[in-house]
Amino acid sequence: MPVADAVALRLAGSPLVVMLDVDGTLAPIEQRPTDAKVPTETRRAVSALAAADGTVIVLVSGRAAADARRIVGVANVWIVGNHGYEIIGPEGETLIDPQVEAYQPVIAQAGRRIQPRLADVPGVIFEDKGWTLTVHYRMADPALVPKVRAALEETVSALGLRLTEGKMVFEVRPPAQINKGTAVLTLGRNLGGLSDEGALVFIGDDLSDEDAFRALRSRGKAPVTVRVSEDESAATAAEFRVRDTSDVRAFLEWLPSARQRPVRR
Ligand SMILES: [Mg+2]
């Protein structure tokens, strides 16, 4: 395991805030995002951590928070949805940044403009997530992608919104400077994971997770950051790398024992 025993000490604090991206981190990537599933063993490992004393689970996803909750299917977790634009607590309490809330009608308007323009592009899936819009093009002809990007750019600039890119997706977002990085710092602080006694680990696989890696590493040596990537040479701001969702499951299964017997050197 690339995350060495020495790291166990950095994960021994309480509370330990375990922040996990969903797609490509807990759930293997599927052609259609609606087909994504978290394997039973992974769900069991997340569930055990969520139930353990002194451990808090936070799902951090580009999906709408309710959708991330449905896919992971574990109770008693925090959820950062829509890349940080939406935060839902374990009791269902919802926190939406006021700067974001003000843009909901504009996002809806953008959806009404974009959807008909993409209707005739085969393989493109349009998803309205309320606070943001996602256009998936994993199944589209790559030659059509520039046309999709151009249509989105036109709408986004006309309405004063922001366009970002991830793994085979475009995202239309409010202009507020919110991303997974700002969200993990805010919630990590509020939950105690960035305090002197606390500990925090963040695992993710995509470009949007790099915002979180950078934000956490700006906090010094304590937070543990892990990028999921089969590509050893992939540029990342994360401190550690694991290969795939099975490695993530193994790490989550290892965590409770690592916290019981931190290696002292
Ligand atoms: Mg992901």
3-state secondary structure 53-112: CCEEEEEECCCCHHHHHHHHCCCCCEEEEHHHCEEECCCCCEEECHHHHCCHHHHHHHHH
Q: Is the pLDDT of residue 96 over 90?
A: no
Stretch among 4-8, 37-41, 226-230 having the lowest mean pLDDT: 4-8
Q: Is the pLDDT of residue 187 over 70?
A: yes
Q: Sheet holding 55-60: strands in order across?
A: 94-96, 86-88, 78-81, 55-60, 16-20, 199-204, 224-228, 240-242
Q: State the pLDDT confidence band at 189, using cuts at 50, 70 and 90.
A: very high
Distance 238 CA to ligand 1 centre (A): 14
Is residue 21 part of the annotated active site? The answer reads: yes
Q: State the pLDDT confidence band at 191, using cuts at 50, 70 and 90.
A: very high
Beta bridge partners of residue 173, listed in sequence order? 162
Q: Is the pLDDT of residue 1 over 50?
A: no
For range 135-160, the mean pLDDT: 96
Distance 26 CA to ligand 1 centre (A): 8
Residue 202 CA to residue 212 CA, distance in Å, equals 8
Element (H, E) at 212: helix 207-217
Could you give the 3-state DSSP secondary structure of residue 180? helix
Q: Is the pLDDT of residue 2 over 50?
A: no
Q: Is the pLDDT of residue 263 over 90?
A: no
Q: Domain boundaries in the chain?
A: 6-97+178-260, 100-173
Distance 53 CA to ligand 1 centre (A): 27
CATH of 100-173, one of 3.20.10.10, 2.30.30.40, 2.30.300.10, 3.30.70.1020: 3.30.70.1020
Just give the CATH number of 6-97+178-260: 3.40.50.1000
Residue range 114-137, pLDDT digits in tens: 999 999 899 999 999 999 999 999
pLDDT at residue 166, rounded to an integer = 87
Distance 209 CA to ligand 1 centre (A): 7
- Annotated catalytic residue: which of 5, 21, 67, 205? 21
